[in-house]
Amino acid sequence: MLLLFSGLCLCSIVSCQRYTSVPGSPYNISTDNKGVLKAVLHGAYSFNNQTNDAFLFKPSAIEKAERQLVKGFKYILEVDLSRTVCLKKGHKEADLANCKFQPDGLLQQTFHCDFEVWTMPWLRFMKTTYFVCSPSDRPSTSS
């Protein structure tokens, strides 16, 4: 009887692990998730604040998104950021939605970025804790 019970417990643990993640570990989340979109925008703001580029960059693609439960949420993101036609000087960061991407030509540039953004939504707190970007040869795909 004990052997049967042990076998049932083991089966339920194994099948359960197949469908859920280990507590505290990152798990895939939809790139259309509202929290992901806010985190991506926050990462773009961090990138714009750290570059000496005359133009603002905005997300052109979200390649991958993961979320981890850690005293709030940590979003682990792979994002393409592309140069817009909006100059940094005289633009507010919130205006990124109104900035079109650079047309084909010398000024068009895209970076592939890995971001980690930590958020505690109940405190209205969000911080980019890590990012690294490298030039990409993929052009921006939308306006």
Contact in structure between 65 and 38 (CB atoms under 8 Å): no
- Which amino acid is residue 79, in one-letter code? V
Report domain extents, the chain: 23-136
d(CA 140, CA 58): 10
CATH code of 23-136, in short, is: 3.10.450.10
Please give the chain's pLDDT, 143 residues, in tens: 444 444 444 444 444 444 466 778 999 999 999 999 999 999 999 999 999 999 999 999 999 999 999 999 999 999 999 999 999 987 666 678 899 999 999 999 999 999 999 999 999 999 999 999 999 876 555 55
Residues in the chain: 143
Q: Is 93 exposed, middle or buried (0-12, 13-18, 19+ CB in 10 A)?
A: middle
What pTM was estimated for this model as a whole?
0.79
